[in-house]
Amino acid sequence: MSADKANRLDLDPDYNAELADMVAAMNVAANRLTPSNGYRTTPHRLSLSDRKLSLQERSSYQNGITPRIARRPTIESKRVSISDGDDCVQLNQYKLKSQIGKGSYGVVKLAYNEDDDQYYAMKLVSKKKLMKQYGFPRRRPSRESNGSQENLLKHSGLLDRVYQEIAILKKLDHLNVVNLVEVLDDPAEDNLHMVFELVPKGPVMEIPTDSPLTEEMARFYFRDVILGIEYLHYQKIIHRDIKPSNLLLGDDGHIKIADFGVSNVFEGNDALLSDSAGTPAFMAPETLTDQDHRFSGKALDIWAMGVTLFCFIFGRCPFHDEYILGLHEKIRTAPVEFPDMPVISDGLKDLIIRMLDKVPETRITLPEIKLHPWVMLDGTDLLPLEEEHCTVVEVTEEEVQNSVKLVPSLSAVILVKSMLRKRSFSNPFEYPSRRQGRSMSAPGLTV
């Protein structure tokens, strides 16, 4: 600490007040880092009106997204003990209850975990059944393409698809993406069990429906989808099956993206794909041509988000036809037509049209969507920056506690504040060269 700063601390009441504010702000930040429910704070959208917030703080608070500690890794259990109880089947610590959903791979059941007294959603998949279905994929088969993960998956069976889905889910950790808690996969058993956090309200909407969402609700949910997809793209994953039935609604009123059964993992800035996958009415036009060409993966998710937003508002898809070839033709060539009712704002129309741009190169991008006036309510309701919600703080509880104990001295205040800003609990004033094992005479140290 410089002598100048030390003198100001003793003599200047304004500076002391500023310091008190800093410590208070640090305590707020430290509390946010301390997990209340394991690893994340409860989302809330109420504004913190009592003090002025910076733009970034405000956007983070309003979306309930704060620096958070990484979630517990997915548990993998290779031994499964199955017993028949009085009223239900028990798998290890889980008591299986009623069926809550059905997908094309298997059923989803409510499961009570005796260890932590919580309910989960358990997906049961028959490995034998999936292996038998090899060659008869549930979704459209891929067209020829060169090597890579895309090609590998194309030639693998449905069971490999499930293992790929598990591999993807294991690395995901975001408020708007469903969380895979445990995988029970005993080689001696036919069933593979995927235990998810329970997203109690199920799909955000069924389509078609005569009671779609209001524009306000659609915006609220769509903003969650934006953040979820931004996170997936940041993690180099193209979802490829965004649609209302894969958007589950939590008790907190927020959307969680589910179903990674046809997702692609990519390297670099974007996936270059050539196959068609997903749900026909949500497929982008560039995937439906006979020409052998490659297209951007991110732009496919944007198209599907556009179809989804249309569904939110009108309760049905923008392109529909009795026959699959007719549907493809409409997706490729027909303009988007908005029904007369409900009447929607020009801003929403503009966004849908730009997402459903048939030309992937000119289609609106995710960063542009985040800045669209309809999404951010003409600049009054900003979304958090990518780095604000896509990264997690990899620290232990002990490190958090220790950092808070450092508060009393001004140098510690500056130190911890800097740590919180950098979301790192290593000493930011330590010579970078020391950590890297190089010379101590690195330039640029200013404290």
**Separation CA 92–CA 76 (nearest Å):** 12
Rg over alpha carbons for the chain, rounded to the nearest Å, is 25
Q: Which is nearer to ligand ATP, 153 or 413 (CB)?
A: 153
Residue with nearest beta carbon to ligand ATP: 101
In the complex, least distance from residue 378 CB atom to ligand ATP, rounded to whole angstroms: 35
**Separation CA 277–CA 283 (nearest Å):** 8
**Separation CA 311–CA 259 (nearest Å):** 19
CB-based burial label for 280 (10 Å; 0-12, 13-18, 19+):
middle
Q: Which is nearer to ligand ATP, 258 or 299 (CB)?
A: 258
In the complex, least distance from residue 108 CB atom to ligand ATP, rounded to whole angstroms: 4
In the complex, least distance from residue 266 CB atom to ligand ATP, rounded to whole angstroms: 21
Contact 121, 100 (CB under 8 A): yes
Q: What are phi and psi of 59, to 5 degrees?
A: -65, -40
In the complex, least distance from residue 149 CB atom to ligand ATP, rounded to whole angstroms: 20
Q: Which is nearer to ligand ATP, 178 or 393 (CB)?
A: 178
Q: Which is nearer to ligand ATP, 246 or 263 (CB)?
A: 246
Q: How far is CA 447 from CA 390, 402, 421, in A?
A: 31, 22, 17
Q: What are phi and psi of 55, to 5 degrees?
A: -55, -45
In the complex, least distance from residue 42 CB atom to ligand ATP, rounded to whole angstroms: 18
Q: What are phi and psi of 272, to 5 degrees?
A: -110, 110
Q: Which is nearer to ligand ATP, 5 or 138 (CB)?
A: 138
Q: What is the CB-side half-sphere exposure of residue 302 using CA atoms within 13 A?
A: 28
Residues within the interface to ligand ATP (CB under 6 A): 100-105, 108, 121, 123, 178, 196, 198-199, 202-203, 245-246, 248, 258-259, 261
Residue 275 annotated to the active site: no
Is 123 flagged in the annotation as binding?
yes
Name the active-site residue from 241, 259, 301, 357: 241
Between strands 272-273 and 264-265, the pairing is: unpaired
In the complex, least distance from residue 140 CB atom to ligand ATP, rounded to whole angstroms: 13
Q: Which is nearer to ligand ATP, 170 or 422 (CB)?
A: 170
Q: Which is nearer to ligand ATP, 258 or 416 (CB)?
A: 258
Q: How far is CA 374 from CA 219, 349, 351, in A?
A: 8, 9, 7
**Separation CA 136–CA 32 (nearest Å):** 48
In the complex, least distance from residue 114 CB atom to ligand ATP, rounded to whole angstroms: 19
Per DSSP, which regions of 59-202 are E strands? 75-77, 82-84, 89-91, 94-102, 106-113, 118-126, 180-184, 191-197
Preceding amide of 342 cis, omega within 30:
yes
Between strands 75-77 and 180-184, the pairing is: parallel
Query: Under 8 Å CB-to-CB from 303, ≥6 apart: which residues?
Result: 282, 283, 284, 285, 355, 356, 360, 363
**Known binding residues for ATP:** 123
Residue list for the binding site: 123
Active site residues: 241
